[in-house]
Each structure stands twice: as structure tokens, then as C-alpha cells.
Structure 1
Amino acid sequence: MKWYADRPVRLTRQLIADLLAVGWVALWIWVATTAHDWVLELRAPGDGLVNAGGDIRDVFTNAASKAKGVPFVGEDLSGALGNGTKAGETLIGVGNTQIGVVQDTAFWLAVALVTIPVLFLLITWLPLRLRYALKAGNTAKLRDKPDLLALRALTSLKPRDLAKFPNDPAVGWRTGDTDVIEELAKKQLAALGVRA
């Protein structure tokens, strides 16, 4: 395979296209990470619930342990305050659930924001580059076989390029005219940006 052309104009276009493809991927990675960070800011209420639940749980746990020391009603009072501990645990659970949802949303949004544009790039740009690399590589292998290159040129060059020949290039190829064959071979190589 031959990834890049030998001719400067085509090589420049290929390099620019490749740099644009890399820039496209980098742009969408940046967009995805920025969106991920913005969505993660939505976890603040969940963090608040976890902190508040922890504070409530700690206060009621301490109160329940101290209430055990109250004569006659200590156990009952401790049990009642233990329900406050459960309320704190419930708030912590709700806060953790909200944090989990926000984190999952941020992750999958970032994945989607990278995957979709990169897939679009791979579907459009990559097949063109691969096709060129294969075609140019195979054509470059034929540099020492001008008859085959000339035949390929007769079938693949644009009619306006073939019309520029002073005589019919197909007749020149059939009769073995070396000037026509060499010119057709050069045009075929040039069409792919490959040096003769």
C-alpha cells in the first residue's frame, strides 16, 4: 500500500485531509470531555443529599447512644431516635442513586459524542484513503510494465484527457507505439500522484 502521493499537490491535499481528520477527532473528544464535565456538575444536589443524610445519621446515632443512659425510658428513647438514623441512611441512598444516574449520563453522553462523529469519519474518509493506498500501491508496482499502465489509462482516464492525444491512443497502444504507451503510462501514474 502507498498511503501518500509522490506529487506535491496531491500529497499536500492528502496531508491536509489527514490533519483535518485528526482535528475532527480531537474536536469531538474535547466536546465530549467538556459535556461530561458539565453534566457532572449536576451531581451537586446528590452530594448535598449524601452529606445531609450523613449528618442526620450521625446526629441521631449519637443521640440514640446517649439516650440509652436515661433511666427507665432510655431503651425506648434510643429506639425512637434510631428511626432518625434510618432516615439519614435513606437520604444517603437517594443521594447516591442521583449521583450514579448523573455519572452514567455523563459517561454515555461523552461516549456518544465521540463515537458518532468518529464513525462518520471512518465511514467517509477512511474508505477513500484505503482505496487510494491500495490503488496507488498496486499501480506503483507496475512502473516497469508500461503496457499494463497504458491499458489501465485507456480504461480509467477521463475522455477529455484521452482526447488531448494527437492521434487515437487506443490505436497507438494496439500497434505498440512506444511514445503513446509511455505517455499513457505517465498519465496513469500522474492520475494517482505516483512518480514515473
Structure 2
Amino acid sequence: MKWYADRPVRLTRQLIADLLAVGWVALWIWVATTVHDWVLQLRAPGDGLVNAGGNIRDVFTNAANKARGLPLVGNDLAGALGNGTKAGETLTDAGHAQIGVVEESAFWLAAALIIVPVLFLLITWLPLRLRYARKAGNTAKLRDKPDLLALRALTSLSPRALAKFPNDPAVGWRTGDTDVIDELARRQLAALGVKA
């Protein structure tokens, strides 16, 4: 496989396309991380619930512990205050649940913002690059076989390019005209940006 052309014009186009592909991926990674950070800001209410629930739980737990020391009503009062502790735990659990949903949403949204554009790139850009690499690599192996390159040129060059020959290039190829064969081979190599 030959990933890049030898000729400067095609090589420049390939390098620009590859840099644009890398830039495309980098752009979407940046967008995804920015959106991820924005979505994570939505966890603030959940953090508030966790803090408030923890504070309520601690206050009621301390009050229940102190109430146990009271004669006659201590255990009943401690039991009643225990319900406040449970309410604090419920708030804390609700806060953790909200934080979990926000964090999971932020992760999957960021993942989608990376995966979809990268898949689009892999479906559009990568097959073109692979096809060129295979075609150029196989063609470069034929540099020392001008007859095969000339035959390939006869089947792949545009009619306009073939019409620019002073005589019919197919006749020149069939009769073994080395000038025509060499020119056809050179054009086939040049079409892929491969040096002769």
C-alpha cells in the first residue's frame, strides 16, 4: 500500500485532507467535552439535595442520641426523631439518584457527539484513502512493466486524455510502439501521483 502520492500537488491535497480529518475529530472531541461539562453543571441541584439531606440526617441523629438520655420519654422521642433521620437519608438518596442521571446523560451525550461524526468520517474519508493506497501501491509495483501500465491507462484514462494522443493509442499499444506505451504508462502513473 502506498498512502501518499509522490507528486507534490496530489501529496498536498492528501495531506490537507488528512489534516482536515484529524481536525474534524479534534473539533468533535472538543465539542463533546464542552457539552459534557455543561451537562455536569446540572448536577448542582443533586449536590444541594445530598448536602441538605446529610445536614438534616445529622441534626436529627444528634437530637435522637441526646433524646435517648431523657428519662421516661427519651426512647419515644428518639424514635420520633429517627423519622427525621430517615427523611434526611431519603433526600440524600434522591440527590445521588439525580447526580447519577446527570452524569450518565453527560457521558452518553458526549460519547454520541464523538462517535457519530467519527463514524461519518470513517464511512466517507477512510474508504477513499484505502482505495487510493491499494491502487497506488499496486500501480507502483508495475513501474517496470510498461505494457501492463499502458493497458491499464487505455481502460482507465478519460476519453479526452486518450484523444490528445496524435495517433490512436490503442493501435500504438497493439503494435508495440514503445513511445506510445511509455507515454500511456507515464500517464497512468501520473494519474495516481506515482513517479515513473
Give your verdict on TM over 0.5.
Answer: yes
**Which residue in the other structure is 1:51 paired with?**
51
Aligned to 1:158: 158
Per-residue CA deviation, residues 34-87 of structure 1 (Å, 9 max, x unaligned), is: 000000000000000000000000000000000001111000000000000000
Partner of 1:177: 177
AA partner of residue 49 (structure 2): L
Q: Distance in 2 between matches of 1:167 and 1:91?
A: 89
Q: 3-state DSSP class of the match of 1:143?
A: coil
Please report how far the alpha carbon of residue 13 of structure 1 lies from its aligned counterpart in structure 2 after TM superposition.
0.1
Residues 81-128 of structure 1: per-residue CA shift (max 9 Å, x gap): 000000000000000000000000000000000000000000000000
Alignment of 1:1-196 (within 5 A): 1-196=1-196
Counterpart-to-counterpart distance in 2, 1:178 and 1:102: 72
The code of the aligned residue for 1:89 comes to E
Residue type of the partner of 2:24? W
SS at match of 1:4: coil
- In structure 2, distance between residues paired with 1:116 and 1:69: 63
- Amino acid corresponding to residue 142 of structure 1 in structure 2: L
Segments of 4+ in structure 1 off by > 3 A? none
Instruction: Work out the percentage of aligned pairs sharing the same amino acid.
Output: 86
3-state SS in 2 of match to 1:88: helix
| TM-score of the superposed pair, with normalisation by structure 2 | 1.00
Provide the rounded CA distance (Å) in 2 between the counterparts of 1:155 and 1:92. 74
Task: State how many pairs are aligned.
Answer: 196
Q: What is the rounded CA distance, in whole Å, between the counterparts of 1:169 and 1:45 in structure 2?
A: 77
**d(CA) in 1 for partners of 2:160, 2:31:** 46
SS for the counterpart of 2:18 is: helix
- Structure 1 residue 33 displacement after superposition: 0.1
Structure 2: runs of 5+ lacking an equivalent: none
Q: Secondary structure at the match of 1:63?
A: helix
Structure 1 Cα separation of the partners of residues 13 and 69 of structure 2: 84
CA RMSD of aligned residues (A): 0.2
Q: Please give the alpha-carbon distance, in whole angstroms, between the structure 2 residues aligned to 1:100 and 1:177.
A: 76
Q: Distance in 1 between matches of 2:77 and 2:125?
A: 72
How much has 1:138 moved relative to structure 2?
A: 0.1
SS in 1 for 2:29: helix
**How far apart are the structure 1 equivalents of 2:84 and 2:59?**
9
Q: Which runs of 5+ in 1 are unaligned?
A: none
